[in-house]
Structure 1
């Protein structure tokens, strides 16, 4: 399954978000997400097959971790847009700061004019 199909399902996104905070077993995921065991297991299987999560066997428990590079295709697709938006916000911040500096200078000049 491709990465975009992986994140298309809201339950899988919630599992990914939960595992981003730290490893969890199925019982923990069931409690945190308030969903059935069968649903969590189904989605963990999809996430595991897609390479989004990895599983560690700890005794009778299976502990799930977010993979080191869980969604490379999504990251590759989003990165150019992130750069574009970040650059636009940087320019906007610079413009706002310049306007604020100009307004402060104008205010200081007005105070000086009022003292005369």
Structure 2
């Protein structure tokens, strides 16, 4: 996936990239120094660090400074704007949802999802071991406590 199509959250979700940004908050650093520090922490090789720096550069977080044979990386002055924009969108969505959260009634979830055009969130049935069909063990009485009203011994056997 090209770096420009990644969201800032996806960029920062990678621990190595987040660490690189933390290091660059202290100031510009050479690619070799960054690679050594990342290796000390994550045991990640230079080529992987180079790819992460390329992703950060393509996404607009860092800039490359060439100085003779060395490459230095620095955070762009507007790098925080890349994060502030999507976080601002989350703030707006959170504030718009205040009236609905204040009601605390889950019956409204059906109505609000229709208004917003959002699908209802449903939790699919748990899947057993890989390759097997879904089995509802509760229907068999498996997993029920002996103290429950409809208990049959907990294992489904008489």
TM-score, scaled to structure 1:
0.63
Alignment of 1:1-116 (within 5 A): 1-34=6-39, 35-76=44-85, 77=87, 80=91
Query: What stretches of structure 2 of length at least 5 have no aligned partner?
Result: 1-5, 93-158
Query: What stretches of structure 1 of length at least 5 have no aligned partner?
Result: 82-116
Q: 1 or 2, which has the higher helix percentage?
A: 1
Q: Distance in 1 between matches of 2:82 and 2:30?
A: 26
Give the 3-state SS of the residue equivalent to 2:53 in structure 1. helix
Question: Cα RMSD over matched residues?
Answer: 2.1
Paired residues, number? 82
Q: Distance in 2 between matches of 1:44 and 1:23?
A: 13
Deviation of residue 80 (structure 1)?
4.8
Contact 1:12 1:47 in 2 (8 A): yes
Q: Distance in 2 between matches of 1:71 and 1:5?
A: 15
Contact 1:3 1:71 in 2 (8 A): no
Give the 3-state SS of the residue equivalent to 1:64 in structure 2. strand
Give the number of the structure with larger relative contact order, counting CA–CA contacts within 8 Å between residues 6 or more apart.
Answer: 1
